[in-house]
Amino acid sequence: MPEVMRPRARDRGIPFDGTPGPWNAITDVPGVEVGQVTVRPATSIPADRRHWVRTGVTTIFPQGPRDLGPVFAGLATLNGNGELTGAAWVEESGELLGPIASTATDGVGLVRDGLVRWMREHGLPPGAWALPVVGETWDGYLHDVRGRHLNEEHVREALDSARPGPVAEGSVGGGTAAICYGFKGGMGSASRVLEVPGPYQVGVLVQANHGRREQLRIAGQPVGRALGPSPRPEAGSILVFVATDAPMLPHQLRRLARRAGLGLARSGSISGNASGDFFLAFSTARRERGGSPLERLEALPNDALDPLFEAVVQATDEAIVNCLVAAEPMVGFEDHRVEALPLEQLGFLGSDAAH
């Protein structure tokens, strides 16, 4: 475990199936890099309102910042109460071009346009257009959404700061003000390593802002019932980004993305009406573009996909719990306060939880 990372869910004795990669994060898929910026309040903001600024941006580069792709990709929407720009072209083309970003609802447009400009400066041909993928979750309980605190510099910083390796979890980046199952939520990640078929990596990054407290299930236990009810109605949404280096075709990646909903269900969600539950899966497997117009590809047959499906279910579930374990209590907009998951009340502390 890297020094920068605090004990995570499985370090705290919560049992999960499957074998994670070295970082237990989406960055276990070779080439994937993640950047995150948490906005600091401008000095012009009165001191007693600086804690109202709770927003940020997270970025994912499928193949590192120097290769904009495209990579094959597929999408699934479980409940569409949200925005995912670029979705139509991913569905149509089966491809994802450039980095992905996630932020808070009101900033989607700014981040989307910022990605376009960044791509123009980093290799998008003149005369070409870009349709970048930007997702969001609503942060209006803890963040001052009317304050216009996010600007294009933050977007650039989130893009330029992308790195391989450990991924910060909890109240950072696009998930800074997120609330998950009535507790402080945010970013979470997890991964699985497969041997058959394989060896392949499957990594998941969630921006978790969904659910009501009484729904929460951890490792199958309906722990939320004892902790609930939520102090306020759901103003939900969860984004799940799935990366793999397994060679899969676009229609298969759509199937893979759909399994994120099953992992979400394990953690207790009913995908409420107010929730924007969007799942995007991409494959970093290389495709050859030779001299001919034809591309040469490899792909797993459909009947080899079950281990990948299972990996997504497991890693999505774990990433959500990782987010809850990482997030600390937060006081924000209008002094609204959201508690952290009281992990010590849940009775999971096992023998390997002595960190």
What CA–CA distance (Å, rounded) separates 116 from 248? 27
Q: Which is nearer to a second copy, 109 or 329 (CB)?
A: 109
Tell which phi-psi region holds residue 286, choosing left (phi > 0), alpha (psi between -120 and 50) or beta: beta
Q: Please say whether the beta carbons of 198 and 246 come within 8 A.
A: yes
Q: Rounded to a whole number, what is the distance in angstroms from the first to the last CA of the chain?
A: 11
- Amino acid making up residue 156: R
Query: What is the nearest approach in angstroms of a second copy to the Cβ of residue 3?
Result: 33
Active site residue 237: yes
Q: Which is nearer to a second copy, 157 or 214 (CB)?
A: 214
- The catalytic residue among 28, 144, 245, 277 is 277
Backbone angles phi, psi at 218, to 5 degrees: -120, 125
Tokens of 18: 């499957």
What CA–CA distance (Å, rounded) separates 209 from 180? 4
Q: Which is nearer to a second copy, 129 or 345 (CB)?
A: 129
DSSP element (H, E) containing 265: helix 260-266
Q: Which residues contact 145 (CB under 8 A, 6 or more apart)?
A: 104, 105, 106, 139, 333
- The catalytic residue among 237, 267, 271, 283 is 237
Quick one: which of 39, 41, 89, 55 has its CA closest to 69? 89
What CA–CA distance (Å, rounded) separates 210 from 82? 12
What CA–CA distance (Å, rounded) separates 325 from 27? 19
Query: What is the nearest approach in angstroms of a second copy to the Cβ of residue 336?
Result: 11
CB atoms within 10 A of CB 198: 16
DSSP element (H, E) containing 312: helix 306-326
Quick one: which of 77, 25, 266, 54 has its CA closest to 175? 54
Counting Cβ atoms within 10 Å, is residue 288 exposed (0-12), middle (13-18) or buried (19+)?
exposed
Q: Which is nearer to a second copy, 140 or 165 (CB)?
A: 140
Active site residue 292: no
Q: Which is nearer to a second copy, 37 or 84 (CB)?
A: 84
CB atoms within 10 A of CB 35: 22
Place of tokens 């979750």: 137
Query: What is the nearest approach in angstroms of a second copy to the Cβ of residue 289?
Result: 8
Query: What is the nearest approach in angstroms of a second copy to the Cβ of residue 304?
Result: 5
Tokens of 167: 């991924």
Q: Which is nearer to a second copy, 119 or 167 (CB)?
A: 119
Query: What is the nearest approach in angstroms of a second copy to the Cβ of residue 104?
Result: 9
Query: What is the nearest approach in angstroms of a second copy to the Cβ of residue 339?
Result: 20
Active site residue 277: yes
Give the residue numbers annotated as catalytic, written as ranges: 237, 275, 277
